[in-house]
A and B are shown apart, each in its own frame.
Chain A
Amino acid sequence: MSTLSEAILGAPAGRYVDREVDIAFAHDGTGVLAHEALREMGVKRLPHPDRLRLVFDHIVPANTGTTATLQAELREYARVSGIALSDAGGGICHQVMSEGVVRPGTILVGADSHSCTLGAFGAFATGVGATDMAAIWASGETWFRVPETIAVNLTGRLSGPAEPKDVALAYVADLGMEGATYRALEFTGDGAATISMDGRLTLSNMAVETGAKTGMFYADPVTVRYLADYGVTASSQVPEDCRYERTVEIDLDDIVPLVAVPHRVDTVREAEEVAGTHLDQVFVGTCTNGRYEDLARFARIVRGKKVAVRTLVFPASRAVLARAIATGVLADIVDAGCVVGSPGCGPCLGAHAGVLGEGEVCLSTANRNFKNRMGVGGEIYLSSVATAAASAITGVITVPEVA
């Protein structure tokens, strides 16, 4: 009787295994290093270019001549080696992979720590470093230690202004920043079925903030329907009776808007407790909360109003942006006075657009609030989209009202 990780990796927890990977991707940052490692390794031909992806998302469009040159070299490498490239404006790697690339039951590795996001599809999806990625591209396989699993058992149903991001902050606070190191998380229970694919991606995305290798949902009718929209046929996965190292219980009915305060993701307060905190910037986007449902929820709250603080909205992908244009969501966001950026990571990593100044405070829908991440001396609070929207309108941290 196996956990989902054990079933996909085909061995019991604790065992080291070598496995072929189904999809392996890098982005503009890690791709440069992987390419360099491949050169040093003397690798001329890649055995399975069809399984590889490059996604330019971290610093796009390029911010300096140096960045542009590095990206140009990588773009050329993608062309000659036959790797599919999603260029500037295509979107964040994890989001692009979620739009019909990843499939339940497969093994996916990304040269980015938030590759655990794709566990939302019932895939074994995890992050590796750039040299690891080079060896994977060169050989088609890598080693894994089959992880023990911690279950996050969801019961009940979200209500009021609470959203999946609040659930994510709740379990990160519960487990702590290292509570699941080397482990996999499995989101189980009746409550899981009530969460949309976009919401599951938000929950799986933050698994790495507890140190976990991946955060998985069993593929179910929600997954199957979502993938069908991308022309992908998939079937549900049936959970087996298995042994979890421990179980964290979360009753969705109890979830209220939460905020992670500087500078730790696991230092979480009820939004109520930090209400009134002055803000210099609100940022909506990233691989945590830059999806269509997020933009739509944000737009519903700001529609017909004006934001009181610099508010940056970066859609997670071109597909998200296109849909937001088609449905009028984008017009609402622009009319409210927000700055709309190109699809990609945007201000999340503090390398270009939307960097914070010394002492500036940002409320962000991202997944990390480490010291100096968005700019030296800046302070980052993390929240749901609804909290970000309510706060954008007032200019201070504000508890959202029932949606």
Chain B
Amino acid sequence: MQGAGPAICLGRDIDTDLIIAGRYLRTKDRSVWAEHVFEDLDPTLAGRIRGSVIVAGRNMGCGSSREQAVVALREAGVVAVVAESFARIFFRNAVNVGLPVVEASVACTDGSRVAFDLDSGWVEVDGMRYPARPLSEKMVAILRAGGLVPYWRSCR
């Protein structure tokens, strides 16, 4: 499974409150989350995030288990999230909603072209290749299906 896009670089310890603030949680309307994604971090991000790859530091997605955070990123059109390490629930959630996550330590600046291949386990930034921590077969299968719900349907 492959993908690519321009990088949006963020720091470390980005918590799920920063991805989508608690005040937007009481709805089932997913477009609301996409609209307000990263609002408390940088209010301009939501408007320019579509088609890009988020590149974060360590402990991406720490904090509350709110799945709305990964849904917001997916709905906002984020292609994948690359990070040095992920908070584990965020990581599981991302796989479950079909948002590719790549654990790798890369050097990058905003706008760098980032490409990744989940099967072979690598990520490239402006042509420079880095190894990525491999996912289990089941995780890749879930991602390829587009998330746990379509995966579940295809298995029954």
- A370 in contact with B17 given A132-B148, A211-B62 (CB within 8 Å): yes
A63, closest chain B residue (CB)? B26
Residues of A near B149 (CB, < 8 A) are: 37, 40-41, 131, 134
- A182 in contact with B88 given A41-B149, A211-B62 (CB within 8 Å): yes
Residue of A113, A130, A264, A368 near B13 (CB, 8 A) is: A264
In the complex, which range does the number of interface residues on chain A fall in? 35 or more
Q: What 1/0 flags go to A136-164 for Cβ under 8 Å of B?
A: 00100001010000000000000000000
Residue of B27, B89, B153 near A127 (CB, 8 A) is: B89
B40, closest chain A residue (CB)? A372
Residues of A near B21 (CB, < 8 A) are: 372, 376
In A359-396, the 8 Å CB interface with B consists of 368, 370-373, 376
- A138 in contact with B152 given A16-B136, A59-B26, A67-B26 (CB within 8 Å): yes
Residues of A near B156 (CB, < 8 A) are: 42
Query: Is B97 among interface residues, defined by CB-CB distance under 8 A?
Result: yes
In B117-156, the 8 Å CB interface with A consists of 136, 138, 147-149, 152-153, 156
Residues of B near A211 (CB, < 8 A) are: 59, 62, 87-88
Contact A373 B59 (CB under 8 A): no
CA distance A306 to B63 in the complex (A): 35
Q: How many residues of B are in contact with the other chain, CB < 8 A? A: 40
B42 CB → nearest A CB, Å: 13
A-B contacts at CB below 8 angstroms, number: 115
Query: Is B2 among interface residues, defined by CB-CB distance under 8 A?
Result: no
The segment from A28-36, A81-89, A232-240, A271-279 that touches chain B is: A28-36
Residue of A41, A67, A129 near B93 (CB, 8 A) is: A129
Query: Is A177 among interface residues, defined by CB-CB distance under 8 A?
Result: yes
A67, closest chain B residue (CB)? B26
Residue of A30, A41, A111, A370 near B18 (CB, 8 A) is: A370
Residue of A130, A213, A351, A376 near B67 (CB, 8 A) is: A130
Residue of A16, A178, A372 near B62 (CB, 8 A) is: A178
CA distance A37 to B150 in the complex (A): 10
Contact A177 B26 (CB under 8 A): no
Residues of A near B66 (CB, < 8 A) are: 29-30
Contact A351 B23 (CB under 8 A): yes
Residue of B40, B64, B88, B152 near A41 (CB, 8 A) is: B152
B interface, CB within 8 angstroms of A: 12-13, 15, 17-18, 21-23, 25-28, 40, 58-59, 62-68, 70, 85-89, 92-93, 96-97, 136, 138, 147-149, 152-153, 156
